[in-house]
Structure 1
Amino acid sequence: MTETAPSPRRLRLLLEFTILVGLWFLLKFALDAYIWRYSGPVSLAIILVLTFFYLRWRGRPLSWIGLVPLKSAGNWLLLLPQFLLAMIVMGAVGAGINFGGAALGLAFMEPDLAAAENRFGDLAGNMSAYLTWLAIIWFAGPAEELFFRGFMIGQLREILGRSRWATVCSILIPAILFGVGHIYYQGLRGLIVTGSVAAALGILFILYKRNIWPLALAHAAINSFSFTAMYMQWDI
């Protein structure tokens, strides 16, 4: 495949990208009215199934969205440092932006405690709720990586090409969409923080040669720590 697909094909790929992303937004919006707490994971599960059907229709292997086979010992040995680097990057970007917002006194960077309470208020000390959310996030974290990094970045790079500016756009567009998907319960702060983390993960995805495994594991692990902190009522 050439670095940039011919114009008619690029237009078809752009249309298909728009349809899948639009369906995700519509599903999310529709489910918000009925299962607000779980609309994100449910809409993501549906759109991921559709994405897998789309990949099969297009004749693309699962490695195209980052599910590369780890065939050699070297692949497995590299997985741990890549995972740890992703963990460090996610934590550093999130903490850095939160600290910067607080230092600058930006009101919109204050956590929306009421929204968090509405969604996760029953988590503290509740083992059943904690285990339920752990199961959800160990699906949702990797699923977000597959859709927002694996599919979106891959599709946009075929549409836009492999130039420097095209790669930047291919990382930033999914990051913005990822941030927008978190506004409903995190507000503008959620858009900025999660969008920035998503951009950092997009950079790692390219550096890792589109290997999604370390990012998927790191995403789920970071979320597990956050939910464990809520369950244990740690003041962090």
Structure 2
Amino acid sequence: MVSTIQKPKQSINHKGILLDLTIYIAVMFLVREVYIPNLFSLLNGLLWTLTTLAVATWRMKARGYTWKDLGLRKPKSFKKTLLISILVVIVIAIAIITFNILQETLGFLGESESTSKSSNSSFKYLKGNWLMFFSIMPIVLVESFLEELLDRAFLITWFEKLFSKTMIATILAVLMQALIFGFRHSNDISERSITVAIIGLIMGIAYVKFDRNLWPIIIAHCILNTMSMIDRV
């Protein structure tokens, strides 16, 4: 894997990085307790994400980093970027199918009732409603974009810095962000949380493996969420 992102001649303030992560993760989960009933559910989600984006940007600025430093930069080749995105989508599809087969065969895990109800009710209005589909897709795509900035770029980079004294800092960072990514999508250990964690793991590996450019995984994330929303119509 590619080495930890560090600026030249800059020592790592491990206590500061731990403080950053503590603030960020606390806000990430606490802000989800704020739900505006009259606001469209996806807009509530976007509000939560924008809040955590503000916190991440604040802590990055305090450490002298920009989103460009973490991978939000122009790809060298659009064709290569698109091919990587398609490869990531294929790998994720294979991984999820494999997990579902194992889960159904062994029956070692079930979808929690609360998670299942929440998942089914959130988008029930989409069934047969293509006008609604096209109305909400801009929000879905923006959310996909922001999740890659936060869950991959920020969390992986900051966890790497926290674990930088170990030889497996990058591996730990990729694993940690995947676990957080999975858990915050359902707040339990269920089929859904593990499936999302698998997606986060593969996205995290792709981010590190392919020169830490965010665009391949942003495009892959947008493709996956678009396919998921089409499946609900």
Q: The TM-score by the shorter chain falls in which range?
A: 0.7 to 0.9
Match of 1:234 in 2: none
How far 1:102 sits from its partner (Å)? Answer: 1.2
205-214 or 27-36, larger mean C-alpha shift: 27-36
Identical columns (%): 21
How far 1:162 sits from its partner (Å)? Answer: 7.6
Partners of 1:89 and 1:4 lie apart in 2 by 38
3-state SS of paired residue (2:35) = helix
Partners of 1:170 and 1:107 lie apart in 2 by 26
Contact 1:157 1:166 (C-alpha < 8 Å) held by counterparts: yes
198-207 or 123-132, larger mean C-alpha shift: 123-132
Match of 1:58 in 2: 63
Choose the corresponding residue for 1:221, options 195, 198, 223.
223
Choose the corresponding residue for 2:49, options 16, 36, 44.
44
Contact 1:3 1:158 (C-alpha < 8 Å) held by counterparts: no
Contact 2:112 2:190 (C-alpha < 8 Å) held by counterparts: no
How far 1:109 sits from its partner (Å)? Answer: 4.5
4+ long deviations beyond 6 Å: 2-5
Match of 2:30 in 1: 26
> Aligned AA for 1:127?
W
> Aligned AA for 2:125?
D
Partners of 1:206 and 1:163 lie apart in 2 by 17
Contact 2:109 2:191 (C-alpha < 8 Å) held by counterparts: no
Partners of 1:221 and 1:149 lie apart in 2 by 17
RMSD, aligned CA? 2.7
3-state SS of paired residue (1:64) = coil
Match of 1:158 in 2: 161
Q: Aligned in 2, Cα 1:155/1:187: closer, same or farther, shift over 3 Å? A: closer
Partners of 1:2 and 1:48 lie apart in 2 by 22
Q: Normalised by the size of structure 2, how large is the TM-score?
A: 0.85
Superimposed CA distance per residue, residues 167-188 of structure 1 (whole angstroms, 9 cap, x where no aligned partner) = 111011111111111115x861
Match of 1:122 in 2: 125
1:67 matches 2:69: no
Q: Aligned in 2, Cα 1:225/1:191: closer, same or farther, shift over 3 Å? A: same
Contact 1:13 1:155 (C-alpha < 8 Å) held by counterparts: yes
Match of 2:197 in 1: 195
Match of 1:90 in 2: 92
Gaps of 5+ in 1: 232-236
How far 1:88 sits from its partner (Å)? Answer: 0.9
Q: Aligned in 2, Cα 1:34/1:162: closer, same or farther, shift over 3 Å? A: farther
- Alignment length (residue pairs): 226
Partners of 1:123 and 1:187 lie apart in 2 by 27
Gaps of 5+ in 2: 1-5
Contact 2:72 2:213 (C-alpha < 8 Å) held by counterparts: yes
49-58 or 135-144, larger mean C-alpha shift: 49-58
Q: Normalised by the size of structure 1, how large is the TM-score?
A: 0.84
Q: Aligned in 2, Cα 1:33/1:179: closer, same or farther, shift over 3 Å? A: farther
Partners of 1:131 and 1:162 lie apart in 2 by 47
